[in-house]
A and B are shown apart, each in its own frame.
Chain A
Amino acid sequence: MQQLNWTALSIFVLLFGFVAWLGFAAGRWRKGDLDQLHEWGLGGRRFGTVITWFLVGGDLYTAYTFIAVPALAFGAGALAFFAVPYTIVIYPILFLVFPRIWRVAHKHNYITAADFVRGRFGNRWLALAVAVTGIIATMPYIALQVVGLQVMIGALGVQGQGLMAVIPLLVSFAILAAFDYSSGLRAPAAIAIVKDLLIYLTAFAAVIVVPIELGGYAKIFAAVAPEKLILAVPGPNTIGAYGSYATLALGSALALFIYPHSMTAILSASSGHAIRRNATILPLYSLMLGFLALIGFMALAAGVDKMPEYAQGFKTYGTNFAVPALLLHSFPSWFVGVTFAGIGIGALVPAAIMSIASANLYTRNIHREFIRPDCTPKQEAQMAKWMSLVVKAGALAFILLVPTQYAIQLQLLGGIWIIQTAPAVLLGAFTRWFNDWALLVGWAVGTALGTWMAVSVNFASVYPLSIGGYGLPGYSALYTVILNLALATALTPIFRRVSAQQPVDETARADYVV
């Protein structure tokens, strides 16, 4: 049985306390009228290059990522490294598309992707589809941040029965909810700085210290089973593991920035130029993620899963315990506290941004659009603040009441769902050619087929597609969004002929120029 690690716990609590104070204090940072939705929910669009770097980095590279990617390497080997090409390919997308979206959003006071789609295509139902997809895809993502926090608290040796077991989690989330409510996006922006510095410290310490302890990288990789060291070479008539690897990377990359939390963090930048600069400096996080993936192999080489003191952890959390176990095994207690706090706070930052983003979507694109069109800006901001609490409570209840496996499966489905909004959002930044109803049909078919694909292979992300006897196993999100786009393209001329009247595009060409 694992003992309570007092030194690590004290440092963990101390850093959490500091961050909580910072979250409340952040409300007065670059002061704005928090009764306006764009002030509460986008930090007044005032974050320069450096703050945006911390905020987007803290937002996209989540605690769950830091636990799950090494866990996948630990279990499945080379396949987990798709996270690296994935986080390389996202930056050209960020560079090319998002300065344009930032510009048009700034001009028309758009807060969400659905706001943009509403203005661009003039169809409230298409905007509703984008908003609902965003909210539903984000909820399980928040829930997984709770899982990340749970693993770290558990690894500190904090255990209990019944209600006692969940109190640390409830307290962390209550604090998070409170500073989110009072400070809005400024809170995670301030906290992200602390979190990122701690995570960098963790990653580079692990990459340098652990290999020395284990006798070099050659020994670490020798511990990996040969068939997992690189991808399996495909047999005849199939693209095999190569297909899975590349489509997972590309599909995840296309989906990433249209997630509501990414959109929120990007739109809070102070200019399109700040976003472009970030496309060149954010890859430092990808480098760190790549090194962190190697921690999975280090855990294999150290053999932490066979050590009796960690048996309970592996039993409770599965391979997700590989990272905390390795850190506990390799570092003195005080430093374990620092690293665990980094990952734990790493759960709070994205959870905060995700709940703000969902709240923005609900308020702007459902509440104001369909329920209370006449609400004042102050009522709008107040509604969003309440919604951010509801969303967090929902995610927490989900994790405490249903098996974690469901959250993981839903998050997988979330990736398939969110990518279906790519034609309207990403291509919408460049062209108004598509018919709004054609986009909606493409979205509906892509969503339905993608869901069916994932369910039919028991929630694996890779679908064994086969055309004319040739195997094309790949990420179902990518395959279904291609179909979605093809449908929208084919239906656009037809729909345009049927209905003479096109809805008005309230944006002008010049609104997009960076």
Chain B
Amino acid sequence: MAARKDLAFSICMVVLSIVLAVQSFRYPADSAFFPRVLSVLLLLLSLLLLFRAFRRPPKEDRTGGIRGNAFSLMKNQPVLVFGSTVLYVVMIPVLGFLVSTALFIFGSILFRDRRKLIVAAIYGICFSAALYFVFHAVLGVTLPRGWLL
């Protein structure tokens, strides 16, 4: 497991370091000494990792946390967290900060625990209002407004 992950990671890093190296060697020498050296170094390290991943027998995964039910997309926490956050940030300019935050918190809690309807509603409203107050009134940050508020 760890070896397979290393394999995938090192291949990605080899590709990335080649991209970075190509970019660095295109820049004029004055501004590129540091990135050139580093991209080559990164490439060497990635190749070393790749070589190691091939050679080392696969062993037990110690790095990962406890896996959720990966077979179900709806229970896949990484997908859920990033997906809902993207949705939330997209909503902000449309609905405004206050409304989208309240909805995001309400939705996130309710989606994971159906029984917490009241908690989700109260917490969603109170927390987003408190945040709005702290950032807008106390700290003077202009928060995005949308159709509603």
Q: Do the two chains belong together in a single complex?
A: no
Q: Which residues of A contact B (CB under 8 A)?
A: none
